[in-house]
Amino acid sequence: MKQRIFVMSMVLITVLVIIANQYFQIEYHMSIFRYLLNNQELTQEDRDFLKEHGPIIYAADNNAPPLRFYDRNAEQYRGIVIDYLQALAIELETEIVFEPMVWEEALSALKRGDSDICDMYPSKARSEVYLFSDPVYYQRGVILVDKNNSDIIKVKDLSGRKVGIQSGDYVHEYLKSNVEGIEYVFGKDYESNLAKLVSGQVDAIVGDEPVISYFLNYYNLSEEYRIVDEALYELPSVFSLNKDNKRLQEIINKGIFKLNKTDIMLKIQQKWFGISTPIGTDQDIPKITFMVVAASFSAAMVFMLIIMWNLELKKAVDEQTRALQESRNNLQTIIDGINQMIVVISEKHIILSANKLFY
């Protein structure tokens, strides 16, 4: 029984560690071991590195609102990601410079080392070229078609169709791996792809849901076109860095960790009123569900340990009782074998025991 209690205790400890690790993955996008062992504070060595490095250069898509876009009226780079990076610059105590580009050019600039960071979906193919930060925000990849198009209702229906896609977009990598027979029509950005759909040059366009939703509303096309119910994927977006920037990756992750604790992405999203789909996952529901399941499982394990412990105590008491009874029986046998009369009397003159000669 003791061995079983020990094993159960070890199992409970292991389960609690797994539960705690899962919680840290949900809350901070890192393991509990990394959280405890790695210093998440900006050190003096980090500050010295950033000072020597100079401004961090962010180059990305110049026409993907509301994530990031060049506002010609204001003559500045704007968007949700830009606001996040401005908060990150404050957290890292350094300057971040913004360089809007055509998306494919931004990827090339990062690969060459002309820029330092760019937000994108991580993938196996991209991991051969770039380093990835911890997750920054989440979004879905979706399909947009004419509302009267009843032939495309799921992802596999894209087979044999002309599909508009932004050059260098992750969705191209995804579709190549999951759907055969697509005729790809590449464009420099989402806006030009939408124009191809409106003119009938393509059967559908694919890409990030927030951007597609933005252009649908901007051009008042919501009544004429629809987003297919089945999403392509829902994935985290990260900051990608050149393979040589491991040190900068570690520092940026510290800043992301700090900003995640403040829910900054949800606050920025509230500023950009009109986004149909959030780009930060609402973790409250999965977190609450996880906590309820974890608490229930832990309580059940503790309850089982208490039951096993009580059974062990009962067994020990029973063994002691039997041993005491055997001792008394042995003593009585010895007393009965004595040829003289023996009697044991209490202080109140009550006979407690006697041998056979007495009786």
pLDDT along the chain (359 residues), means of 10: 64 70 66 68 95 97 96 93 98 97 96 96 95 94 97 97 97 96 97 97 97 95 96 96 95 94 87 61 56 69 73 78 76 71 75 68
pLDDT at 348: 78
CA distance 162 to 345: 107
Q: Decide if 2-135+241-290 and 140-227 have a common fold.
A: yes
Tokens of 300: 């059940």
pLDDT at 327: 73
Residues 6+ apart with CB under 8 A from 349: none
Task: Note if the bond before 122 is cis, omega within 30 degrees.
Answer: no
Domain residue limits, the chain: 2-135+241-290, 140-227
Could you tell me which CATH number the domain at 2-135+241-290 has? 3.40.190.10
Minimal CA–CA distance to 217: which of 161, 142, 273? Answer: 273
In this structure, what DSSP letter does residue 29 have?
S
CA distance 151 to 174: 21
CA distance 131 to 240: 5
What is 140-227's CATH topology?
D-Maltodextrin-Binding Protein; domain 2 (3.40.190)
pLDDT at 276: 46
CA distance 279 to 138: 5
